[in-house]
Amino acid sequence: MTDTQGERPDTPTPHSDAEQVAAAPPVPPVPPVPPQPEGGWQAPATAPVPRYQPPQGYPAPQTAETGPTSPIDPVAAPAAGTGAHPTATTATAPSRPKGRVGAGKVAGILVAAALVGGVAGVGGAYAGNSLFAPDGTLPAAGPSAVTVNDTGSVNQTTAIAAKVVPSVVTIQASGSSGSGTGSGVVLSEDGYVVTNTHVVTLDGASGDATIRVTTSDGAVYDATVVGTDPTYDLAVIKLEGAEGMTPIEFASSSQLNVGDETVAIGAPLGLSNTVTTGIVSALNRSIEIASSAVPDTGDEEDQAPQEQGESPFFFDFGQGQTQSQSAETIKIAVIQTDAAINPGNSGGALVDDQGRLIGINVAIASAGGSSGTAGSIGVGFSIPSDIVQRITDDLIADGTATHGLLGASVQSAEYVEGSTITGAYIAEVVEGGAAAAGGLQVGDIVTGFNGAPITDSVDLTAQVRAAAAGSDATVTFVRDGESLTIDVVLGDLGQ
């Protein structure tokens, strides 16, 4: 995250028609582009458009349920895609109306690991060192559309970028303690955008941050918070006066395979419209991240001593601070990818080989164990699109999202004496809860939840929280060496 100063013009100052004619001779016709290989994309046979050059000085814009051990607690149809890829050329940013940012409604705040440039977090000191310049400002490097210089050699990644970049925005949040940048993904033509809670709250440092959003073509909007969901670190904001935006097309994350191609698009280190590629490295992964926003359910939540330790995972909103010392954590199910994800990619898109959303980028792993040196090491995490779609639908409709509650305290089976399998060991069952009603007993080891494999308590909590309150769930467990399956109706984490 980078501190910024000064005002940025909404649009560049264009040359007059006369200047353009005098500056360049007539452009000869471009011959037709030969057909591309199967799955490829053809750029239209037109003369290239001059690239937009921004003015100098442009600033970048449980959790578990209950119990003395590690308790378990824990979408509208996809936007119709046309299948056609937009022209991959650059253009002058249009002038868009802007409104005044109001105080956003924030359900909670997260203590994130770090920020690009720095911000005072909960209990943290201000760390306003720029990654780019001593004065804490970004260089003159405004956003630009996808550039195609050789239309005869366009590959699949270029086509994906041309389709998706207009649906990804750069978010700048600022408050009394500092400012930072993250990313977001357009959900609707009138400007609903999904991002992370830790982006709009400055990693937990502000509940009423001022939010400005820059689109891929350079238009700037004020935005307000529609709703936040700290339990899964998702938020929806609304761009004021927006119209005619390009919504992302959703794919179902349940159909992914390990090895599928991925493309991540966002603003790492404030560098808007950055495209990186990789594959799906793992599915059904769960991670635990320090947070000060865990909802208060009135239940005890104590980690088993064997499971405690510093997490290697950090929100990818920035760089420059140490990991939060919050004793509370959120547990979320994620897609693991080796597409390069760096601080500032938070809230950006992870898409498949057709440019459809499969995840919202949320966190990275650090080999050094400190977010101060966190960067891409090929281990990044995204919230699956099926979860994103459910939660954003709830946030847009009601301003809040619901989460399931199993009504049992659990710990990882590998830490239970005598256990011979991995899973989530039921240490306590809450009377009247979903687990008790379904027939789960102390000593059962849960090995599957709604088709996802469960290897420890974090897996089970993350999967239970991913489901909506009141939804039906299928639980697979082992009792006395026998594998059994039951159906339960989940409770509501918020009650």
> What is the CATH T-level fold of the domain 93-140+154-401, as seen in this structure?
Thrombin, subunit H (2.40.10)
Residue by residue, pLDDT tens for the chain (495 residues) are 434 443 444 444 444 333 333 344 454 454 454 454 454 444 444 444 343 343 344 333 333 343 334 433 333 333 433 333 333 334 333 444 443 333 332 222 222 322 232 332 222 222 222 222 233 333 333 445 788 888 888 899 999 999 999 999 999 998 887 888 999 999 999 999 999 999 998 877 677 889 999 999 999 999 999 999 999 999 999 999 999 999 999 999 999 999 999 999 999 998 999 999 999 999 999 999 876 544 444 333 334 433 444 555 556 554 333 334 454 789 999 999 999 999 999 999 999 999 999 999 999 987 765 444 457 889 999 999 999 999 999 999 999 999 999 999 999 999 999 899 999 999 999 999 999 999 999 999 999 999 999 999 999 999 999 999 999 999 999 999 999 999 999 999 987
Please identify which of the residues 3, 167, 179, 198 carries the catalytic annotation.
Answer: 198
Is 346 a catalytic site residue? yes
Is 492 a catalytic site residue? no
Please identify which of the residues 203, 229, 233, 386 carries the catalytic annotation.
Answer: 233
Is 456 a catalytic site residue? no
Q: Which CATH class is domain 404-492?
A: mainly beta
Domain with CATH 2.40.10.120 in the chain: 93-140+154-401
Please identify which of the residues 130, 177, 253, 346 carries the catalytic annotation.
Answer: 346
Could you count the other beta carbons within 10 Å of the beta carbon of residue 172?
26
Q: What is the pLDDT of residue 29?
A: 53
Q: What is the pLDDT of residue 361?
A: 97
Q: What is the pLDDT of residue 314?
A: 52
Domain with CATH 2.30.42.10 in the chain: 404-492
The answer to whether the beta carbons of residues 114 and 320 sit under 8 Å apart is: yes
Q: What is the pLDDT of residue 146?
A: 84
Could you count the other beta carbons within 10 Å of the beta carbon of residue 26?
7
